[in-house]
């Protein structure tokens, strides 16, 4: 198991729609998840989607526990989410800054649904069904977008709110997500 290179924006593999998982608990799936965890932890990310390491499958992972990059962010439980289905609870959206390991060095102001329900499976095929809001909801939407071939810059409404992290936030030690 090992950390793997993260594809960067411009790679056509990031624009594909990923395929569902049909075989849970397989050695291949466990190996993929191990590589995803190693990659996310090495890069100090809050989430990673399988297509970001060149695997076009509907698998995302995320976790937030006192990440130094997000001192104010609520913690999010360590989650493996497979074949996710997202359902917004209302039309309410809010905007906040996002980054992405596939768009290194950049930040953008991205609208996301404030509150949503997400359903899917864990690595053993167990059901996941959560209703979340705020940063947790934002992370889920960002990661699941990768499964549709959508990168966060494609959702920015006003491109004047897109730029280099160290220019936008000169007084903060902002890294990539």
Residues of the shown chain interacting with Ni ion in the complex, contacts defined by CB under 5 A: 100
Nearer Cβ to Ni ion, position 11 or 24? 11
DSSP-assigned beta bridge partners for residue 133: 115
Q: Catalytic annotation on 63?
A: no
Smallest distance, Ni ion to C-beta of residue 13, A: 14
- Give dist(CA 163, CA 87) in Å, integer: 30
The 8-class DSSP code of residue 155 comes to G
| Annotated catalytic residue within 98, 143, 148, 177 | 143
> C-alpha angle 128/129/131, rounded to 5°?
135
Smallest distance, Ni ion to C-beta of residue 152, A: 7
- Give dist(CA 144, CA 138) in Å, integer: 10
Smallest distance, Ni ion to C-beta of residue 50, A: 12
User: Cα 19 vs. chain centroid, distance in angstroms?
Assistant: 17
Helix (H) or strand (E) holding 112: strand 106-113
Q: Which residues are catalytic?
A: 143
């Amino acid at each position: 198991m090992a950390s793997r290179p993260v594809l960067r924006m411009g790679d056509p593999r990031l624009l594909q729609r990923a395929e569902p998982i049909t075989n849970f608990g397989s050695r291949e799936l466990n190996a993929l998840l191990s590589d995803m965890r190693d990659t996310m932890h090495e890069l100090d990310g809050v989430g990673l989607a399988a297509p970001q390491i060149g695997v076009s499958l509907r698998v995302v992972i995320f976790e937030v526990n006192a990440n130094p990059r997000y001192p104010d962010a609520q913690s999010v439980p360590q989650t493996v989410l497979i074949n996710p289905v997202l359902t917004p609870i209302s039309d309410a959206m809010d905007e906040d800054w996002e980054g992405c390991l596939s768009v290194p060095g950049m930040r953008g102001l991205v609208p996301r649904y404030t509150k949503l329900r997400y359903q899917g499976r864990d690595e053993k095929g167990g059901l996941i069904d959560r209703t979340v809001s705020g940063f947790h909801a934002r992370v889920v939407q960002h990661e699941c977008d990768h499964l549709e071939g959508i990168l966060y810059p494609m959702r920015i409404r006003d491109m004047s709110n897109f730029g280099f992290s160290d220019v936008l936030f000169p007084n903060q030690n902002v890294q990539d997500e």
